[in-house]
């Protein structure tokens, strides 16, 4: 049987279409967030923009906030790579089952600070008990954990941003990945945590489901691509792909001249070229997950829009499925000043200039203001 060959153009067009980046998607913020496999929310306003830009029907940042804090169809928690994400609530069993089943790398915590396995389980049980039916600040949660475990859990021994965090906080990501902890609405300027009330899927089944979702969103992809997206060991990812291929759940193709995989039966790629301009904010899911990165960031865009090879640190201008610029927005009341810095000549065409103006106007709508475009140099450095 001949192996299906997939070009970069075909893959890019399908990824864009499936994520509402060609024609805005119908449906809810949760539905498009599920299609993206989460919206990076370390900068929550960027996540709101990522999600709402992909939706039709006049979706705004308020639409995303209502889905998160009122409808609870979105959950803010620690997702892939241990970073804060918005995830679809209906996918939380898959996410927690999969993330808690990924093998941990080397422990970065100094030996004298680490908790034993027994202490870790005590802390996790305390978190579960304290957060059930409650919304607690970190300080309140620390008191609750110490009360349930002992003073050792609250020892301020973890180095953190020129401060010292209590010992228990090394288990924060693990608690989230087991479905015991998620974010609740801020109380003033203080973040709060709660229990998402999730029962994780069985690990192997969750990993299979996550791999299928990933390949449908960002395939064709290799084990190395999947491992990079999750910040997981490459050898482990290769093993997962091998077992999934043996089980008939994924199938091999040739993508951009290299071996890659798609979900079983998902081999239809339309004969179309990506078209249009999109302004993607910090750490947008498409920017982070789309591979090969050298094709997404062609030529000079690689130097201008990647921070030491890391995607997401700059908001990017996507032209016909490739990065051809960076941008920045600054708000003053209802006015939103959008500065776009082109890389190369892609934005010089009349069509792309018209598309860019419409996209700037849409950004203003999502952010519930009026956006004004300036084409010039972006002087703001990369986000940390």
Q: pLDDT for 328-381, tens place per residue?
A: 999 999 999 999 999 999 999 999 999 999 999 999 999 999 999 999 999 999
Whether pLDDT at 118 is above 90: yes
Mean pLDDT score of the chain, rounded to an integer? 95
Q: Confidence band (pLDDT; 50, 70, 90) for 309?
A: confident
What pLDDT does residue 189 have? 92
Overall average pLDDT of the 149-161 stretch: 92
What pLDDT does residue 1 have? 59
Overall average pLDDT of the 280-294 stretch: 96
What pLDDT does residue 12 have? 96
SS3 state of residue 242: helix
Whether pLDDT at 181 is above 90: yes
What pLDDT does residue 270 have? 87
Going by C-alpha positions, the residue among 333, 227, 317 that lies closest to residue 280 is 317
Least confident of 72-86, 158-172, 226-240: 158-172
Give me the percent of the chain exceeding a pLDDT of 90: 91
Overall average pLDDT of the 121-126 stretch: 98
What pLDDT does residue 306 have? 94
| 9-52 pLDDT, tens digit each | 999 999 999 999 999 999 999 999 999 999 999 999 999 999 99
- Note the Cα 24 to chain centre separation in Å: 19
Architecture label for domain 277-375: 3-Layer(aba) Sandwich (3.40)
Q: Map out the domains of the chain as residue ranges.
A: 104-198, 277-375
Q: Confidence band (pLDDT; 50, 70, 90) for 272?
A: confident
Give me the percent of the chain exceeding a pLDDT of 70: 99
What pLDDT does residue 384 have? 64
Global confidence as pTM? 0.95
Whether pLDDT at 59 is above 70: yes
What pLDDT does residue 161 have? 77
Whether pLDDT at 87 is above 90: yes
Whether pLDDT at 136 is above 70: yes
Question: What is the DSSP pairing of strand 370-375 with strand 335-342?
Answer: parallel
Topology annotation, domain 104-198: Nucleotidyltransferase; domain 5 (3.30.420)
């Amino acid at each position: 049987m001949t192996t299906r060959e997939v070009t970069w153009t075909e893959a890019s067009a399908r990824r864009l279409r499936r994520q509402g980046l060609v024609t805005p998607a119908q449906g809810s913020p949760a539905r498009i967030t599920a299609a993206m496999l989460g919206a990076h929310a370390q900068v929550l306003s960027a996540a709101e923009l990522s999600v709402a830009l992909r939706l039709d029907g006049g979706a705004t940042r308020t639409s995303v906030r209502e889905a998160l804090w009122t409808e609870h169809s979105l959950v803010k928690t620690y997702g892939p790579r241990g970073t804060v994400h918005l995830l679809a609530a209906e996918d939380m069993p898959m996410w927690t089952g999969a993330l808690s089943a990924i093998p941990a790398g080397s422990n970065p915590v100094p030996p004298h600070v680490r908790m034993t396995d027994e202490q870790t389980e005590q802390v996790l049980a305390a978190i579960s008990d304290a957060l059930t039916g409650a919304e607690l600040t970190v300080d309140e949660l620390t008191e609750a954990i110490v009360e349930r475990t002992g003073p050792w859990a609250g020892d301020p021994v973890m180095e953190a941003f020129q401060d010292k965090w209590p010992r228990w906080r090394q288990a924060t990501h693990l608690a989230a990945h087991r479905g015991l902890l998620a974010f609740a609405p801020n109380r003033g300027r203080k973040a709060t945590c709660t229990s998402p009330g999730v029962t994780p899927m069985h690990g192997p089944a969750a990993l299979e489901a996550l791999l299928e979702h990933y390949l449908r969103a960002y395939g064709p992809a290799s084990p190395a691509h999947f491992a990079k997206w999750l910040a997981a060991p490459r050898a482990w990812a290769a093993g997962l792909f091998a077992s999934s291929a043996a089980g008939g759940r994924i199938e091999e193709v040739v993508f951009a001249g290299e071996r890659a995989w798609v979900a079983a039966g998902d081999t239809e790629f339309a004969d179309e070229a990506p078209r249009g301009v999109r302004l993607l904010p910090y750490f947008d899911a498409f920017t982070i997950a789309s591979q090969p990165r050298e094709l997404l960031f062609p030529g000079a865009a690689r130097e201008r829009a990647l921070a030491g090879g890391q995607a997401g640190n700059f908001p990017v201008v996507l032209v016909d499925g490739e990065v051809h610029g960076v941008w920045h927005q600054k708000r003053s009341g209802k006015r939103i000043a959008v500065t776009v810095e082109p890389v190369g000549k892609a934005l010089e065409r009349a069509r792309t200039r018209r598309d860019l103006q419409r996209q700037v106007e849409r950004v203003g709508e999502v952010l519930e203001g009026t956006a004004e475009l300036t084409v010039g140099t972006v002087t703001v450095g990369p986000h940390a």
